[in-house]
Amino acid sequence: MNPAAAISNNLLTAAFESQASDIHFYPFQDHTNVYFRIHGKRIFYKRLISAKYQLLLTYYKFTSGMDIGEIRKPQNGTITHQESNQMYSLRLSTLPVNLMESLAIRILPQEENLSLDQLFLFPNQLNKLKEWITNQAGIVLFTGPTGSGKTTTMYSLLQTILSEKSYQTITLEDPIEKEMDDILQVQINEKAGITYQSGLKAALRHDPDIIMIGEIRDKATAEFAFDASLTGHLVLSTLHAKNASGTVHRLLEMGLKQTDLQQSLIAVAALQLLPIQINETTKRRAAILELLEGKRLEKTIQGVDDKTENAFYSFDHLRKKAYAYGYISEEIYKNS
């Protein structure tokens, strides 16, 4: 085994054993600091001398299909890695900093150990999501910051619904985070002319029942997604927004009309991950959700501030409930 591959294997094994979701390489002139993100917290792992980091960086760029000679522009790539009986997809991203390059690796397990029930802290919220995806047409949006579990939730819901009924399901993703059976997965490749828009147009010709769009990034994709939902398709997608009501404001700021939202938007689920403690030890993370639907969604689209609770529970309320039940520590409750 070459030296770079040996360094990589040791590093990845440590990350997997720590249940890290990300690895960050922070380069300085004479060394590079390596950090793991574990249960949402960035933790220092070790220091590498510059020569080892450069060796590792070149190895990762080569194996993930990046241009080794390009150091002035950000690049992205993916690697699949087998560890024991578990397969991982690694999403790599470089960023030029001070005549050097930093590297970030997102770790995506391909065989999920957690069941759908374990992904959510409160089971009634999962039941609501399952109810939403029984709609034959319309759009359901999952929102939250990067790494909040949006795509994992969509995958799990799709797997659940497809285990019960046969639907023609097509996903458009950049990149494909997890390979799934019985689903047509399209890799967005803008260099090759496969954009979200062109991919969506082609997908509609395949007579889909459900379309999953990895992320709504701009007005054009948003408009196309909403148009697709109006023509008898159930569309699932993600958007970056702070909370449920912020999602509606973001869509309106993109230029979508209120009438489009009123006709197509079934509901919004904003996700936030909390580190769950069992016997004062953090075991895993589980999601709490702000769920926006029905009359409250209608009022939000109209710009009306609904002060009544109407069974709407904010992140603040849900964190308070999680703390009261002993799921999270006082520190997490106060600082999240």
Q: CB of 155 within 8 A of CB of 177?
A: yes
Overall average pLDDT of the 10-39 stretch: 92
Architecture of domain 116-335: 3-Layer(aba) Sandwich (3.40)
High-pLDDT (> 90) share of the chain, %: 47
3-state secondary structure (DSSP) of residue 210: strand
The token duo for 52 is: 């080892």
Q: What integer pLDDT is reported at residue 308 of this predicted model?
A: 61
Mean model confidence pLDDT for the chain: 88
Task: Give the pLDDT confidence score for residue 39 in this predicted structure.
Answer: 79
Q: What is the pLDDT of residues 246-275, one digit of tens each?
A: 999 999 999 999 999 999 999 999 999 888
Tell me what pLDDT residue 115 has. 64
| Average pLDDT estimate for 6-16 | 94
- Reported as a pLDDT band with limits 50, 70 and 90, residue 228 is confident
pLDDT of residue 102: 94
Q: Of residues 330 and 288, which shows the higher confidence score?
A: 288
CB-based contacts of 166: which residues, under 8 Å, 6+ apart? none
Spatial distance between the Cα atoms of 43 and 117, rounded to a whole number of angstroms: 28
Residue with tokens 């993109």: 254
- The residue type of 107 is I
- What's the pLDDT tens digit per position in 62-75? 999 899 989 888 99
Task: Provide the pLDDT for residue 253.
Answer: 94
- Per-residue pLDDT, 312: 79
| Fold of the domain spanning 3-109 | Beta-Lactamase (3.30.450)
* CB-CB contact of 207 with 168 (8 Å): yes
- Measured CA to CA, the distance from residue 213 to residue 77 in angstroms comes to 20
Q: Is pLDDT of 189 > 70?
A: yes
pLDDT at 326 over 60: yes
What's the pTM value of the predicted model, to 2 decimals?
0.75
Q: Averaged over 45-52, what is the pLDDT?
A: 94
256 vs 175 pLDDT, higher one: 256
CA distance 53 to 42: 19
Cβ neighbors of 85 (< 8 A, separation 6 or more) are none
Break the chain into its structural domains and give their ranges: 3-109, 116-335
Give the length of the chain. Answer: 336
Given a contact cutoff of 8 angstroms between Cβ atoms, the answer to whether 161 and 133 are in contact is yes
Position 94: which residue type?
T
